[in-house]
């Protein structure tokens, strides 16, 4: 980890003691490891993002491990005393470039701010990692260091969309180009546990759908039909609703929409493009005439709330790993970074991992039973 | 065709004569065959749609063949004298149900309004057919009656999206769940010819992109890579720009976006869902407060123009067949139907079919050359 330097936070006196002694589970702070150099803007957005996240997480004790250039981070911390008060800086001179290929990042990534941020989760010195670094590199390094959780075959990236009914989680949105039926079933299990942990709350029963198209007779690929059958037949603790279509995402028909990474990525990016187009056209419509301008001025409060409501949450967690890693958009602003940090904190404070593991055990037991029956009947 | 009845239009005197004598190519009217019973609302939307289309196509001579229940059609024509003046009604008692399976529609579809509308194109009594009937049935009956055009393997449905730069055509949006590289190349050829015919104008050079995801190392499925290579290497008369991503659709980065029918359908429906969500949230934002309401009132003209601009065109033509068939949305209003009719008329008046055939010949020649070279080198 080369040259890790400790930067004592202004009110550090109580911090290491409280963190290491762990008075009770409830009082234990959540420790988020942040790649301060990742994303297009580095510390100048990551630190203000952390400050916003602290406000949003008021009432919960959160601490940060900040990985990266200590001078650049220090300069930002000087402007954000609330963050400085709960942060420890871990210096490193190196970082992953935004265009670095995953294979290259794996070879030469050791000791970079991204690597160290994930390593802290592996070493259990942090509960979750957040990075705005390039997705491929972050995924490769996270898989290498954290490995897959028991029973899970492939990680998935989950996106949280604002919808008519609140939030819909869509996964996978880019980690896996091709997925077989077993992976789609895994995604359903991970996605349901994620939704409960971050959006639904403990004890909630998120509904789950499998993304398909409406063509009558040749309804979907074979793997979709097979995954649909498994999710219907295996007794998982899940409110599975069968197939949904593209328009059901924005409708919020179900809480969790499961799809392969190619389709999910296209849907997500198509949606992002449309949201930007709508915002642009709305602005153009309202500034194109004097009456429009006056109307827009009067309605500015409402329009501002509308923009905030349509903005997608900035964090896309990687699910299925032995540890929590949240990717924030490379181009995210402080609000986007804050979203990613809040998602990381909510996941860390939740029963997500045990929740997903329980359903994986149910699935495994059902699959073993099917195998036993089919062997016995031969 | 059972019981076809002729209903003389109010000013029918000049119509059959002018249509059959064909004074010159330029003066020849475009004859559109309409399934008046298709869609959720039948003649009560199809006829007003035809009236709107006539206004939009002013300057071009258009005539209609209206297939379906002559009493129901007649009642609507009485309210639309401009349509009545250029229409001929072909009575039939039967129609295809909106939930009928394609195989069933093929077995018992003969003589229905949908069947007859397409048959008129086959018999060359019409230049194009328009139906709001169910997509699967319309596709199956169109393929059976019209057959594929020379060299083309599979039909595609193309959707025209409003974008920041105008219109982007996306295909396939649902006819083919799985597509190999050769089919994707065909879609590029059809889509480019379609865009020139309907949106770009004769002599325009539409740009074409292949929809992919941005993952660096494992960029896309094998068939995408192969299609990309063919489109780059074969000397087609096409402005091919390589891979694009989901957000490029709304950006209007290219004029034509090529993808398989599964991905295209998900992208289209995701976009439709978002557009509806956006319109709903805008309304909610502007009626939620007195200031918002007043602002919305002042800006109502601008907001109305915005809504019209964001509305997707109502027609999705089937490309690759020996004849023009345009599907209008089942739930379309008169404006949507009018869009579908206008697209049909523009396609019929264009060089689309010859245009696409020319590039197919170039592709065929290139493929034969590759085969000859590879055989000679063995």
- What is this structure's pTM? 0.85
- Point out the least confidently predicted range of A115-129, A200-214, B8-22, B351-365: B8-22
The residues with which B316 forms a beta bridge, in sequence order, are B327
Which stretches does DSSP call E strand in chain B?
Answer: 6-7, 30-35, 62-68, 87-91, 128-131, 156-163, 166-171, 207-211, 239-244, 256-258, 315-319, 324-328
Task: Supply the pLDDT for residue B366.
Answer: 79
Mean pLDDT, chain A, whole residue set: 85
- Token output for B255: 């004029």
B-chain CB neighbours of A282 within 8 Å are: 282, 306
First to last CA, chain A: 56
Question: Per-residue confidence at B14, pLDDT binned at 50, 70, 90?
Answer: very low
Handedness of CA B197, B201, B205, B211 (dihedral sign): negative
Burial class (CB in 10 A: 0-12, 13-18, 19+), A23: exposed
- Token output for A168: 């819909």
Q: What angle do CA A30, A46, A328 make, to 5 degrees?
A: 80
Instruction: Report the residue from B101, B281, B298 with minimal CB separation from A298.
Output: B298
Query: Residue A239: pLDDT above 50?
Result: yes
- A75: number of CA atoms within 13 Å, CB side? 8
Three-state DSSP at A262 gives: helix
- Point out the least confidently predicted range of A134-138, A209-213, B110-114: A134-138
Task: Supply the pLDDT for residue A9.
Answer: 42
Are B137 and B114 in contact by the 8 Å Cβ rule? The answer is yes
Three-state DSSP at B324 gives: strand
Name the residue of chain B whose CA is nearest to A310's CA: B278
**A299 to B299: CB separation less than 8 angstroms, yes or no:** yes
Residue A244: name the closest of A317, A361, A163 by CA: A163
Question: Per-residue confidence at B215, pLDDT binned at 50, 70, 90?
Answer: low
Three-state DSSP at B378 gives: coil
Residue appearing with tokens 């749609």 = B49
- Token output for B251: 């950006």
Which tens digit of pLDDT belongs to each residue from A287-301? 777 777 777 777 777
Question: Per-residue confidence at B334, pLDDT binned at 50, 70, 90?
Answer: very high
- Mutation target for A interface from B302, B305, B318: give the one with most A CBs within 10 A: B302
Are A175 and A161 in contact by the 8 Å Cβ rule? The answer is no
What is the distance between the alpha carbons of residues B242 and A136, in angstroms, rounded to a whole number? 21
**A213 to B136: CB separation less than 8 angstroms, yes or no:** no
Residues 6+ apart with CB under 8 A from A350: A196, A197, A198, A202
Query: Residue B197: pLDDT above 80?
Result: yes
Task: Supply the pLDDT for residue A8.
Answer: 40
Query: Residue B313: pLDDT above 80?
Result: no
Name the residue of chain B whose CA is nearest to A178's CA: B221
* Chain A / chain B CB contacts < 8 angstroms: 225
Q: Which of A242-246, B150-154, B357-361 has the highest mean pLDDT?
A: A242-246
Query: Residue A46: pLDDT above 50?
Result: yes
B-chain CB neighbours of A305 within 8 Å are: 285
Q: Which of A213-217, A257-261, A370-374, B359-363 has the highest mean pLDDT?
A: A257-261
Task: Supply the pLDDT for residue A2.
Answer: 40
Which tens digit of pLDDT belongs to each residue from B119-132? 999 999 999 999 99
Question: Per-residue confidence at B364, pLDDT binned at 50, 70, 90?
Answer: confident
Name the residue of chain A whose CA is nearest to B299's CA: A292
Task: Supply the pLDDT for residue A359.
Answer: 86
Task: Supply the pLDDT for residue B48.
Answer: 97
Which helix (H) or strand (E) covers residue B302, if one does? helix B300-310
Query: Residue A348: pLDDT above 60?
Result: yes
Instruction: Write out residues 88-127 of B within 8 Å (CB-CB) of A.
Output: 99, 101-103
Task: Supply the pLDDT for residue A20.
Answer: 35
- The stretch B272-276 carries a mean pLDDT of 85
Q: Does A204 touch chain B (CB under 8 A)?
A: no
Task: Supply the pLDDT for residue A26.
Answer: 52
Query: Residue A5: pLDDT above 50?
Result: no
Question: Per-residue confidence at B231, pLDDT binned at 50, 70, 90?
Answer: very high
Task: Supply the pLDDT for residue A310.
Answer: 65
What is the distance between the alpha carbons of residues A152 and A164, in angstroms, rounded to a whole number? 32
What is the distance between the alpha carbons of residues B255 and B196, in angstroms, rounded to a whole number? 9
Query: Residue A147: pLDDT above 90?
Result: yes
What percentage of chain A exceeds 90 in pLDDT? 54
What is the distance between the alpha carbons of residues A265 and A139, in angstroms, rounded to a whole number? 15
Handedness of CA B2, B3, B6, B7 (dihedral sign): negative
Residue A45: name the closest of A86, A93, A7, A79 by CA: A79
Task: Supply the pLDDT for residue B314.
Answer: 67
B-chain CB neighbours of A268 within 8 Å are: 246
**A265 to B213: CB separation less than 8 angstroms, yes or no:** yes
Task: Supply the pLDDT for residue B22.
Answer: 35
Task: Supply the pLDDT for residue B4.
Answer: 42
Residues 6+ apart with CB under 8 A from B238: B188, B189, B192, B208, B231, B359
- The stretch B259-288 carries a mean pLDDT of 85
Task: Supply the pLDDT for residue B319.
Answer: 93
First to last CA, chain B: 56
**A276 to B303: CB separation less than 8 angstroms, yes or no:** no
Q: Which of A29-43, A294-308, B307-321 has the highest mean pLDDT?
A: A29-43
Q: Give how far Cα B216 sits from Cα of A100, A104, A176, A271, A278, Å.
A: 9, 12, 12, 21, 29
User: Which of residues A202 and A32 earns the better pLDDT score?
Assistant: A32
- The interface predicted TM-score (ipTM) is 0.83
What is the distance between the alpha carbons of residues A81 and A373, in angstroms, rounded to a whole number? 63
Instruction: Write out residues 243-262 of B within 8 Å (CB-CB) of A.
Output: 245-251, 259, 261-262
What is the distance between the alpha carbons of residues A220 and A225, in angstroms, rounded to a whole number? 7
- Point out the least confidently predicted range of A136-150, B256-270, B344-358: B344-358
Instruction: Report the residue from A221, A262, A294 with minimal CB separation from B177.
Output: A221
Task: Name the pairing type of β-strands A166-171 and A156-163.
Answer: antiparallel
Which stretches does DSSP call E strand in A284-335?
Answer: 315-319, 324-328
Nearest chain B Cα distance for residue A200, angstroms: 21
Question: Per-residue confidence at B11, pLDDT binned at 50, 70, 90?
Answer: very low
Query: Residue A3: pLDDT above 60?
Result: no
Are A245 and A213 in contact by the 8 Å Cβ rule? The answer is yes
Three-state DSSP at B310 gives: helix
**B295 to A291: CB separation less than 8 angstroms, yes or no:** no
B-chain CB neighbours of A276 within 8 Å are: 247, 250-251
Instruction: Report the residue from A135, A251, A272 with minimal CB separation from B247.
Output: A272
User: Which of residues B374 and B56 earns the better pLDDT score?
Assistant: B56
Task: Supply the pLDDT for residue A292.
Answer: 73
- The stretch A214-223 carries a mean pLDDT of 67
Task: Supply the pLDDT for residue B178.
Answer: 83
Task: Supply the pLDDT for residue A357.
Answer: 86
Give the DSSP letter string of A101-161. -HHHHHHH-TTSHHHHHHHHHHTTS-SEEEE-S-HHHHHHHHHHHH-B-TT--S-EEEEEE
Query: Residue B219: pLDDT above 80?
Result: no
Question: Per-residue confidence at A135, pLDDT binned at 50, 70, 90?
Answer: confident
Q: Does A307 touch chain B (CB under 8 A)?
A: no
- The stretch B317-338 carries a mean pLDDT of 91
Nearest chain A Cα distance for residue B352, angstroms: 27
Task: Name the pairing type of β-strands A166-171 and A324-328.
Answer: unpaired
- Secondary structure letter of residue B259 according to DSSP: -
- Token output for B178: 């799985």
Task: Supply the pLDDT for residue A376.
Answer: 73
Angle between helices B70-78 and B43-56 (to 10 degrees): 50
Residue appearing with tokens 């079919």 = B353
Mean pLDDT, chain B, whole residue set: 85
Give the DSSP letter string of B37-98. T-TTTTHHHHHHHHHHHHHHTTTS-EEEEEEE-HHHHHHHHHT-HHHHTTEEEEE-S----T
- The stretch A56-62 carries a mean pLDDT of 88
- The stretch B184-199 carries a mean pLDDT of 93
Which tens digit of pLDDT belongs to each residue from B45-87? 999 999 999 998 888 899 999 999 999 999 999 999 999 999 9
- Mutation target for B interface from A268, A277, A291: give the one with most B CBs within 10 A: A277
């Amino acid at each position: 980890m080369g040259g890790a330097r400790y930067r004592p936070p202004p009110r550090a006196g109580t911090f290491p003691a409280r963190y290491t002694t762990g008075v009770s589970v409830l009082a234990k702070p959540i420790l988020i490891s942040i790649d301060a150099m990742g994303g297009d803007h580095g510390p100048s957005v990551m630190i203000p993002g952390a400050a916003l996240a602290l406000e949003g997480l008021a009432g919960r004790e959160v601490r940060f491990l900040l990985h990266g250039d200590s001078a650049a981070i220090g300069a930002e911390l000087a402007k954000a005393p609330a963050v400085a008060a709960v942060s420890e800086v871990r210096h490193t001179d190196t970082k992953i470039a935004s265009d670095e290929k995953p294979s290259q990042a794996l070879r030469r990534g050791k000791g970079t701010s991204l690597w160290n941020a994930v390593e802290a989760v592996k070493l259990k010195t942090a509960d979750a990692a957040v990075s705005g670094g390039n997705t491929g590199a972050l995924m490769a390094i996270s898989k290498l260091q954290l490995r897959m959780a028991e029973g899970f075959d492939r990680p998935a990236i989950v996106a949280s969309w604002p919808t008519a009914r609140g939030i819909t989680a869509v996964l996978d949105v880019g980690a896996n180009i091709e997925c077989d039926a077993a992976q789609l079933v895994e995604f359903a299990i991970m996605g349901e546990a994620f939704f409960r942990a971050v959006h639904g709350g403990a004890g909630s029963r998120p509904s789950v759908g499998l993304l398909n198209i409406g063509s009558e007779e040749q309804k979907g690929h074979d793997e979709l039909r097979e995954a649909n059958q498994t999710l219907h037949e295996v007794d998982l603790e899940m409110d599975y609703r069968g197939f949904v279509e593209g328009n059901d995402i924005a409708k919020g028909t179900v809480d969790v929409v499961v799809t392969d990474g190619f389709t999910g990525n296209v849907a997500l990016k198509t949606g992002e493009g449309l949201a930007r187009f709508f915002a642009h056209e709305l602005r153009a419509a309202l500034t194109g005439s004097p009456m429009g301008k006056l109307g827009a001025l009067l309605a500015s409060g409402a329009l501002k709330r509308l923009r905030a409501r349509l903005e997608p949450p900035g964090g896309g967690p990687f699910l299925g790993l032995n540890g929590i890693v949240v990717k924030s958009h490379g181009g995210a602003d402080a609000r986007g970074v804050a979203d990613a940090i809040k998602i990381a904190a909510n996941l860390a404070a939740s029963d997500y991992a045990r929740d997903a593991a329980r359903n994986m055990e149910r699935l495994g037991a059902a699959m073993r039973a099917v195998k036993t029956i089919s062997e016995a009947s031969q």
